[in-house]
Amino acid sequence: MTSQPKTTIHVVQHLAPGGLETLAINMLKFAKPDESVFLISLEGSRCETLANWPSLKNVEDKLIFLTKKPGFDFEAISKLRKLFKKIKPRVVHTHHIGPLIYGATAAKLAGVQHIVHTEHDAWHLNNQKHLLLQSLALKLSRPNLVADAGLVKEQLDEKLNYANITVIKNGIDCERFKPGSQAQARFELGLPAHGKIIGSAGRLEKVKGHDILLKALPLINSNVTLAIAGIGSQKDALTRLAEDLSISHQVRFLDLVEDMPTFYRALDVFCMPSRCEGFPLAPLEAQACGVPTVATNVGGTNETLCPITSQLAESENSSELALKLSQMLLESPQSSPRRFVVNNNDIRKMVDAYSAITQEEYA
């Protein structure tokens, strides 16, 4: 197959607001001017996706929806192979296990010159079925394997017999996520103008640990407000938990927030109480906006935190989380965590690192 110069196709499982999906979209947005980049979502529809994530209308012409059937869908591999034959990408870049199985296999069958696969976490490999499937898919497609954190690489090395795993840490747009007026941000979001505000952002799912944060709130000053940005299946359960804990008056569920820089600017402290993570973006975004962060010590989270201004807390421990948050609310920041993120996790540096993997292809 004669490939089109500098054409890349990313493949994700679904396009719902989340860290992995945001990263893939950013790689599309920050592609070089002479590169053509598309993104394929295995699941979901265009209408549903744009309704849930309106800002994607700006890149709608670059999005392709495969509408994969539930369960294992052999036809999806055939559809992808035909798409790759038609578009003739030089690079197919898959994200996580499902897109690896479908996208990388189809790319190999279509004769795509270069396949890259990024693992954004490795805890799913504790499942023996997933481990077997991933090992088989890697052997069949032989992609350049990338881990998004040092810890993820260590876990992949332990679980998989695969040589030359590259670490490329996730990046964010530091020109978009930057400090701004806290008063204006609170006004725009309808949050209290006075008093301390802790914020958390992410899918409202059990893995994100919002229940742990809610249980920590009664142990913190009663004048503190907790603002939660995100949507998900646990919304009703979390609302009931807040009622049971008698903290409903302190908690604001903001649902999906499109303007996340404004959300972060409204905060005094950001908290990520997750049970599992790979290399999360939210702590980077908050810190780039100058907001100190407390996050649970899971996955590669420790690699995302400024060692001077931000802190780790033990996972599943509401008491320790409350202690760390209380300490941070009482302290006067001596420096901003922004410099740490700009130096280590700017999206442009990340895109350059991925380009370097395949630069010989573009010679």
The predicted model scores a pTM of 0.84
- What is the tens place of the pLDDT at every residue in 31-47? 888 889 999 999 999 99
What is the fold, at CATH topology level, of the domain defined by 182-344?
Rossmann fold (3.40.50)
Per-residue pLDDT band at 217 (split at 50, 70, 90) = very high
β-pairing verdict for 7-12 and 91-95: parallel
How far apart, in whole angstroms, are the C-alpha atoms of residue 295 and residue 208? 11
- What is the tens place of the pLDDT at every residue in 165-175? 999 999 999 99
Dump the DSSP string for 51-84. HH-GGGGGGGGGEEE--PPSS--HHHHHHHHHHH
Q: Where are the beta strands (DSSP E) in the chain?
A: 7-12, 36-41, 63-65, 91-95, 114-119, 144-147, 166-167, 197-201, 225-229, 251-255, 269-272, 293-296, 311-313
Domain at 7-171+346-362: CATH code:
3.40.50.2000
Reduced to 3 states (helix: H, G, I; strand: E, B; else coil), residue 326 is helix
Calculate mean pLDDT across residues 249-274.
97
Alpha-carbon 165 to chain mean position: 20
Calculate mean pLDDT across residues 81-105.
96
- What is the tens place of the pLDDT at every residue in 180-206? 999 999 999 999 999 999 999 999 999
